């Protein structure tokens, strides 16, 4: 998305209230700075915090987007003092941050860090201690009673934690200050449990103060889907069933489940990434134009399209024909031996969890009737790539010899979400020479070549937006609910259908997924 460079807002000018004097006037294009506040992080010792959240907080501070008063309270089951936590956060930030190390910024951030030891999430006394620490920070750091609770913990703990946070008075309304809750997926296990979870969170916080993180929405390339579609003239007239043959949405990873068996084996690929990331990509690709980029307007369009998704193929529901799942076996990847899923540490020997899932969906509305949307996601595939490919129909007539067009594919727009972020347009071109011979060529837009600035990490954007109270990049509960509506029947069907099919590590997934497209006379890209 081309970034315009707005004039510096008055608040961002050096010397204005809230601007960090340690920035020495760097980054004067900053749009908004988060209010002074305390961020209480449950799950600070977890992988997500270490690899993503803590480096993102440092990067935000370094970019001048946090108030100098910003304070971070870690909650965990370690015998740690504040300095132990500082040391841990420093390690995480030094190894994971995107921006250079600046000792003065770090010192300022570290001065606002506190650790509260919990014996367990049911430890009532610890919540009282937490309330005292937060009150002390309001006094000593000027955090003005603003607080956000980041729950990066298994949702099974949500009831115990939310109830006690509420009882400690930490969420009580206070004139002129805000309270927010940020939650990480999984948002439930199915539609019913997602509703229960929402009800639970709703007991302690107003719906508008809940920020559900789907980190894909924080990615620049994902936000760019709306820019491509609604800031240009060229694409939207073609973006419908008259011209589009089908859409393929791929999230392929070349890694296995690593050390996450405890989480993954109870979840599987469909719940892990299709329920959220891939259905959000579908919604952004297929939705109508919103009246503005305000949260309510964008969400309303995403909801409409999710509500129109059907699992039927030409009106007939047969999930054996329209879904596929697989599980990586043992073998080699990148020349190295790798364990099969069932041999991964922590995976139940009789596990039936899928590490690959593919679905064929249709959207029952005027724009998309009859256009299949194929979604696939998997681990230990041939390479890491996330993309949305909009494949167009063949021209109704070709005034060339069949020999000239023998090598032609279909016009395709590929939104390259990651890596190698950008957009590719596949189109037909004449091969230089004396004869009319046609071949597919690519026109590429790459972020690296078009912009000087590096894209922020998704979590920088999302943490900042949560602290600013900006909701557009956070899915609403209604979207979560509609996504489970799509997935519940698939997961129930799989639960009653035995084990997933094995696939070779480094391949493009199980044969069932290839058959799924072959039935429609199509094939997956790159396979």
> Measured from the CB of residue 137, what is the shortest distance to ligand BG6 in angstroms?
31
Q: Which of residues 111-150 bind ligand BG6 (CB under 6 A)?
A: none
Q: Which of 65, 73, 197, 273 binds ligand BG6 (CB under 6 A)?
A: 273
> Measured from the CB of residue 454, what is the shortest distance to ligand BG6 in angstroms?
16
Return d(Cα 42, Cα 453) in angstroms, integer. Answer: 32
Return d(Cα 49, Cα 505) in angstroms, integer. Answer: 29
Give 143 or 280: the residue with its C-beta nearer to ligand BG6: 280
Give 360 or 380: the residue with its C-beta nearer to ligand BG6: 380
Give the interface size with ligand BG6 as a residue count (CB under 6 A). 5
Give 229 or 277: the residue with its C-beta nearer to ligand BG6: 277
What is the SS3 assignment for 389-442?
Answer: EEEECCCCCCCCCCCCCCCCCCCEEEEEEECCCEEEEEEEEECCCCCCCEEEEE
Cβ distance 510 to 378 under 8 Å? Answer: no
Handedness of CA 10, 12, 15, 19 (dihedral sign): positive
Is residue 387 near ligand BG6 by the rule CB under 6 A? Answer: no
Give 245 or 272: the residue with its C-beta nearer to ligand BG6: 272
> Measured from the CB of residue 214, what is the shortest distance to ligand BG6 in angstroms?
8
Return d(Cα 217, Cα 210) in angstroms, integer. Answer: 16
For residue 444, give both structure tokens: 């590429």
Give 418 or 477: the residue with its C-beta nearer to ligand BG6: 418
Cβ distance 242 to 217 under 8 Å? Answer: no
Is residue 272 near ligand BG6 by the rule CB under 6 A? Answer: yes
Give 197 or 311: the residue with its C-beta nearer to ligand BG6: 197
Is residue 354 near ligand BG6 by the rule CB under 6 A? Answer: no
Q: Which of residues 203-262 bind ligand BG6 (CB under 6 A)?
A: 215, 253
Is residue 473 near ligand BG6 by the rule CB under 6 A? Answer: no
How would you class 27 by CB atoms within 10 Å of its CB: exposed for 0-12, middle for 13-18, buried for 19 or more?
middle
Contacts of range 395-400, beta carbons closer than 8 Å, 24 or more positions apart: 400/436, 400/438
Asked if 246 is an active-site residue, the reply is no
> Measured from the CB of residue 272, what is the shortest distance to ligand BG6 in angstroms?
5
Is residue 385 near ligand BG6 by the rule CB under 6 A? Answer: no
Q: Of 189, 246, 277, 476, which one is the catalytic site residue?
A: 277
> Measured from the CB of residue 136, what is the shortest distance to ligand BG6 in angstroms?
35
Is residue 278 near ligand BG6 by the rule CB under 6 A? Answer: no
> Measured from the CB of residue 443, what is the shortest distance to ligand BG6 in angstroms?
25
Is residue 19 near ligand BG6 by the rule CB under 6 A? Answer: no
> Measured from the CB of residue 273, what is the shortest distance to ligand BG6 in angstroms?
5
Q: List residues bridging with 76 in a β-sheet.
A: 117
Residue number with the smallest Cβ distance to ligand BG6: 272
Beta strands in 60-196 (DSSP E): 71-76, 113-117, 147-151, 179-184
The residues, any chain, with a CB within 8 Å of residue 451's CB and separated by 6 or more, are: 2, 3
Is residue 389 near ligand BG6 by the rule CB under 6 A? Answer: no
For residue 395, whether the previous peptide bond is cis, meaning omega lies within 30 degrees of 0, is no
The radius of gyration of the chain's CA atoms, rounded to the nearest angstrom, is 25
Q: How many CA atoms lie within 13 A of 347 on its CB side?
A: 25
Give 272 or 344: the residue with its C-beta nearer to ligand BG6: 272
Return d(Cα 318, Cα 98) in angstroms, integer. Answer: 47
User: b/e per residue, 160-194, with b = 16+ CB within 10 A?
Assistant: ebbebbeebebbeeeeeebbbbbbbbbbbbbbeeb
Is residue 35 near ligand BG6 by the rule CB under 6 A? Answer: no
User: By rule CB under 6 A, what string of x and - marks binding of each residue 324-343 to ligand BG6?
Assistant: --------------------
Is residue 39 near ligand BG6 by the rule CB under 6 A? Answer: no
Which sequence positions are flagged as catalytic?
A: 277
Give contact residues for ligand BG6 (rule: CB under 6 A). 215, 253, 272-273, 386
């Amino acid at each position: 998305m081309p970034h315009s460079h707005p004039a510096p807002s008055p608040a961002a000018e050096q010397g204005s209230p809230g601007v960090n004097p340690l920035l020495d006037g760097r980054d004067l294009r900053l749009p908004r700075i988060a209010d002074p506040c305390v961020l209480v992080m449950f799950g600070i010792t977890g992988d997500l915090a270490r690899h993503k959240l803590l480096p993102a907080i440092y990067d935000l501070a370094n970019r001048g987007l946090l108030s100098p008063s910003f304070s971070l309270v870690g909650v965990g089951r370690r015998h740690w003092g504040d300095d132990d936590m500082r040391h841990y956060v420093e390690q995480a930030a030094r190894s994971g941050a995107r921006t250079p190390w600046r000792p003065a910024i770090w010192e300022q951030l570290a001065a606002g860090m506190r650790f509260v030891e919990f014996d367990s999430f049911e430890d009532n006394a610890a919540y009282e201690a937490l309330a005292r620490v937060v009150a002390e920070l309001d006094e000593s750091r000027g955090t003005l009673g603003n607080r956000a609770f980041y729950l990066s913990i298994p949702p099974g703990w949500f009831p115990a934690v939310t109830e006690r946070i509420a009882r400690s008075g930490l969420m009580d309304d206070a004139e002129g200050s805000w309270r927010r809750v940020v939650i990480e997926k999984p948002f439930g296990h199915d539609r019913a449990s997602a509703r229960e979870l929402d009800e639970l969170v709703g007991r302690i916080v107003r719906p508008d103060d809940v920020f559900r993180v789907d980190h894909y929405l924080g990615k620049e390339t994902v936000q760019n889907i709306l820019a491509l579609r609604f800031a240009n003239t060229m694409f939207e007239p073609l973006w419908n069933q008259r011209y589009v043959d089908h859409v393929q949405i791929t999230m392929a990873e070349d890694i296995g489940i690593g050390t996450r068996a405890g989480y993954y084996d109870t979840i599987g690929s469909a719940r892990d990434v299709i329920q959220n990331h891939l259905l959000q990509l579908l919604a952004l690709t297929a939705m109508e134009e919103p009246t503005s980029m305000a949260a309510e307007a964008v969400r309303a369009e995403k909801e409409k399209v999710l509500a129109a998704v059907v699992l039927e193929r030409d009106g007939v529901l047969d999930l054996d024909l329209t879904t596929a799942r697989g599980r990586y076996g043992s073998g080699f990847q990148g020349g190295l031996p790798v364990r099969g899923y069932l041999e991964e540490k922590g995976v139940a020997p009789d596990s039936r969890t899928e590490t690959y899932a593919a679905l064929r969906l249709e959207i029952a509305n005027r724009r998309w009737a009859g256009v299949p949307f194929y979604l696939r996601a998997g681990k230990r595939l041939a390479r890491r790539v996330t993309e949305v490919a909009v494949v167009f129909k063949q021209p109704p007539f070709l005034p060339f010899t069949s020999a000239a067009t023998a090598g032609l594919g279909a016009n395709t727009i590929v939104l390259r979400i990651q890596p190698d972020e950008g957009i590719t347009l596949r189109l037909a071109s004449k091969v230089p020479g004396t004869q009319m011979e046609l071949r597919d060529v690519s026109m590429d837009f790459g972020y690296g070549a078009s912009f000087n600035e590096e894209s922020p990490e998704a979590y920088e954007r999302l943490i900042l937006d949560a602290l600013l109270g900006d909701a557009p990049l956070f899915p609403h509960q209604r979207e979560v609910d509609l996504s489970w509506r799509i997935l519940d029947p698939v997961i129930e069907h799989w639960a009653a259908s035995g084990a997933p099919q094995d696939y070779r590590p480094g391949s493009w997934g199980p044969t069932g997924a290839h058959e799924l497209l072959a039935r429609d006379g199509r094939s997956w890209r790159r396979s």
